[in-house]
Amino acid sequence: MTATPAASEHPITDRVREALQVSLRGCDELLPEADWLKKLARSEATGTPLRIKLGLDPTAPDIHIGHTVVLNKMRQLQDLGHTVIFLIGDFTSLIGDPSGRNNTRPPLTHEQIKANAETYYRQASLVLDPGKTEIRYNSEWSDPLGARGMIQLAAKYTVARMMERDDFTKRFAAQTPISVHEFLYPLMQGYDSVALKSDLELGGTDQKFNLLVGRHLQQEYGQEPQCILTMPLLEGLDAKILSISDVQMWKWYTLLSFRSESEIARLKAEIEAGRNPKDAKVMLAKEITARFHSAAAADAAEQDFQNRAAGGIPDDIKDVALSGAPMGVAAVLCAAGLVPSNGEGNRKIEQGGVRIDSAVVSDKGLKLGAGTYVMQVGKRSFARVTLTA
């Protein structure tokens, strides 16, 4: 028997519409949107929170800021009163997620998974409300499934459907090996939704196929199928917030800021009216820094930025000890890791981009005697060099 959401028998109130807008903010896709609206209306009418699932495999010891795009969405839905389930894929990590890859992902060892998982929830708690978050491990129901249960689960999905997945299709066409165990990954991720009876599962755009498998398996097991919400991948992760483009800045605000959309719209209007875009980037940088560190750390980072902008010296520059005085400036810059070669060091000097103790260097032939110097290349590269004979 296949379960489907009943026709909406609950009123679509203003609060329900607002909840839908929160859900849609910054998302790539919400499928099926009509079903999610019905779930929100039922939750509002009955006072029963919806169950919202996010699964992360502990494939590395740290969560980076790109992960927080989905975590922020979880927090927004959590603040609406729904139940957030932070699922650590300690079982699925043993398989290895092939999503978006053109070869088999090496599975992690149990020891690697355990070590990585220990840090995951602590970091996620900087975004989620720990007191309102349910933390689960999919080994809870995957290990007891056993061989018989695994065969029964595999019988609920066809090879033809599995081969519709884009990365499998490309690898098969290229005659790149696909291991049978890789087919188990989307099945096990989908089975997580069955075990947790989730109403909504979140993921990146690369997870869409796996999330849809969850909908299918819930129907196979007689449950109301979950809706799925995919979030875009965050661009500009190789830059600091103050270095991202003005266009990227607004995408970062939508995906990472907890400011309301009306606040962001007002700020954008101020920028268009002539306010310096740097002000908005500083506000965003302080908000994110305060969330993951503290308000004091955010203030200190802002002061450090202002010092750099005014030609000052930041607090946290690296210390380098060198021998061989007297030494040419270009050689010192290269040895300190501020330029890749002596030639590049000389070019920077010619361009006026090198400072020693805040003074611009113009003489390529200058040699430094024994002593300690603050070396600067450009606006952001610093080193405190102690040079000995």
One domain for residues 292 and 378: no
Q: Cα–Cα distances in Å, from 273 out to 71, 113, 232, 284?
A: 33, 51, 29, 19
One domain for residues 44 and 154: yes
Alpha carbon distance 346, 352 (integer Å) = 10
Whether residue 205 lies inside any domain: the answer is: yes
pLDDT on residue 80: 96
Whether residue 5 lies inside any domain: the answer is: no
Whether residue 278 lies inside any domain: the answer is: yes
**Angle of CA points 197, 200, 204, to nearest 5°:** 125
Residues 101 and 116 sit within 8 Å (Cβ to Cβ)? no
pTM of the predicted model, to two decimals?
0.74
Structural domain count, the chain: 3
Question: Residue 348's domain is classified under what CATH number?
Answer: 3.10.290.10
Which of residues 206, 231, 256 is at a domain's end? 231
**Alpha carbon of residue 319 to chain centroid:** 31
Q: Computed over its alpha carbons, how large is the radius of gyration of the chain?
A: 26
pLDDT on residue 69: 92
The β-bridge partners of 322 are: 387
pLDDT on residue 38: 97
One domain for residues 125 and 267: no
One domain for residues 195 and 261: no
CA-based nearest residue to 93, from 62, 57, 138: 57
Residues 206 and 58 sit within 8 Å (Cβ to Cβ)? no
Residues 50 and 229 sit within 8 Å (Cβ to Cβ)? no
Residue 21 has φ and ψ, to the nearest 5°, of -65, -40
Alpha carbon distance 173, 210 (integer Å) = 21
CA-based nearest residue to 115, from 173, 68, 60, 54: 60
Question: Residue 223's domain is classified under what CATH number?
Answer: 3.40.50.620
Edge-to-edge strands, sheet with 359-360 = 318-323, 381-388, 371-377, 354-356, 359-360
Which of residues 283, 309, 335 is at a domain's end? 309
One domain for residues 77 and 212: yes
Q: What is the 3-state secondary structure (H, E, C) of 130-153?
A: HHHEEEEECHHHHHHHHHHHHHHH
One domain for residues 73 and 205: yes
Q: Cα–Cα distances in Å, from 163 out to 7, 82, 167, 171?
A: 33, 35, 9, 10
Whether residue 236 lies inside any domain: the answer is: no
Whether residue 8 lies inside any domain: the answer is: no
Residues 140 and 188 sit within 8 Å (Cβ to Cβ)? no
One domain for residues 54 and 157: yes
One domain for residues 176 and 285: no
What's the DSSP call for residue 375? E
Range of 277's domain?
Answer: 241-309
One domain for residues 167 and 63: yes
One domain for residues 167 and 194: yes
Beta strands in the chain (DSSP E): 29-31, 51-56, 83-88, 133-137, 200-204, 227-231, 318-323, 327-328, 354-356, 359-360, 367-368, 371-377, 381-388
DSSP states of 41-57 = HHHHHHTPPPEEEEEE-
Whether residue 2 lies inside any domain: the answer is: no
Residue 228 has φ and ψ, to the nearest 5°, of -125, 145
pLDDT in tens, the chain (389 residues): 444 444 458 999 999 999 999 999 999 999 999 999 999 999 999 999 999 999 988 877 777 788 889 999 999 999 999 999 999 988 888 776 666 555 555 667 778 877 787 788 888 888 999 888 998 999 999 999 999 999 999 999 988 988 988 888 888 899 998 888 888 989 999 999 999 999 999 999 989 999 999 999 999 999 999 999 999 988 776 657 877 888 889 999 999 999 999 999 999 999 999 998 889 999 999 999 898 888 888 888 777 777 666 556 776 788 999 999 999 999 999 999 999 999 999 999 999 999 888 788 888 888 998 888 889 998 888 999 999 98
One domain for residues 154 and 30: yes
Residue 374 has φ and ψ, to the nearest 5°, of -95, 110
Whether residue 84 lies inside any domain: the answer is: yes
CA-based nearest residue to 314, from 325, 305, 322, 323: 305
One domain for residues 116 and 49: yes
Which of residues 309, 331, 352 is at a domain's end? 309
Whether residue 212 lies inside any domain: the answer is: yes
